[in-house]
């Protein structure tokens, strides 16, 4: 499948073809092709993340009038978390369309969850710039939100939201996440994240993306807090 076939499949035609091509251009490709006319998709990914959060928030607000703020936060986190974004990307075979550098290609980048999630966010960002929020919303209503309505994401675990809720309910203070180390080449990065409570390290986790590392750090922090409560009781 190519980009023209993708657009036909989803019923969308980009006005600016450079935008959709950029959405599917990984930084590893740009690094190896200095004279390439394409930019990488990292800025589009940043924008798409924000657009997606807003669209999902509005969908939940309008669709579930009885749902509490806390439950909407949990559901939104489950919909926009990395495993869910990977599902959306795989639904349209996004991995087959990405321009990759040789190193990323050789290490299985087309199937790497963090890369697929980033490409989906970049596509949403490009689509927003090309046709506006309503067009993105229509796309999500057609292909993504029906899966939410079927309860497909209700079971996904979001440790960051669980940790935030626990800390708030128990008035423990402020949480802060920070990336303390990045290792490996650009096409095979590993991130180590710490979550801090009142400036003290509560948990540490590592992953192939910053989001994954933060989730694992939050999981460790939850385990630590729960263990402390069990000992006291």
Active-site residue list: 49, 121
Q: Is 220 helix (H, G, I), strand (E, B) or coil?
A: helix
User: Could you give the CA distance from residue 52 to residue 80 in angstroms, rounded to a whole number?
Assistant: 7
Per DSSP bridges, beta strands 175-183 and 200-207 are unpaired
The DSSP code sequence of 165-186 is: HHHHHTT---EEEEEEEEES-G
**In sequence order, what are the residues at sequence separation of 6 or more whose Cβ sits closer than 8 angstroms to the Cβ of residue 51?**
124, 125, 128, 133, 136
User: Could you give the CA distance from residue 20 to residue 8 in angstroms, rounded to a whole number?
Assistant: 13
């Amino acid at each position: 499948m190519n980009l023209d076939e993708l657009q036909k499949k989803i019923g969308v035609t980009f006005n600016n073809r450079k935008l959709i091509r950029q959405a599917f251009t990984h930084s590893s490709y740009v690094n190896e092709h200095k004279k390439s006319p394409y930019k990488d998709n990292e800025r589009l990914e940043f924008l798409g993340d924000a657009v997606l959060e807003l669209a999902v928030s509005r969908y939940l607000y309008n669709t579930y009038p009885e749902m509490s703020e806390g439950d909407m936060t949990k559901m939104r986190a489950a919909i926009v978390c990395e495993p869910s974004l990977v599902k959306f990307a795989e639904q349209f075979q996004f991995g087959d369309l990405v321009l990759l550098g040789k190193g990323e290609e050789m290490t299985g980048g087309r199937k790497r969850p963090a890369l697929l999630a980033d490409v989906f966010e970049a596509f949403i960002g490009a689509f927003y710039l090309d046709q506006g929020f309503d067009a993105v919303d229509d796309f999500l209503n057609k292909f993504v939100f029906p899966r939410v309505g079927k309860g497909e994401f209700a079971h996904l675990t979001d440790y960051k939201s669980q940790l935030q809720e626990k800390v708030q309910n128990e008035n423990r203070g402020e949480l802060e996440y920070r990336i303390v180390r990045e290792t490996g080449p650009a096409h095979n990065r590993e991130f180590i994240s710490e979550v801090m409570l009142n400036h003290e390290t509560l948990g540490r986790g590592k992953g192939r993306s910053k989001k994954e590392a933060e989730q694992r750090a939050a999981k460790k922090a939850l385990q630590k807090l729960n263990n402390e409560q069990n000992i006291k009781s």
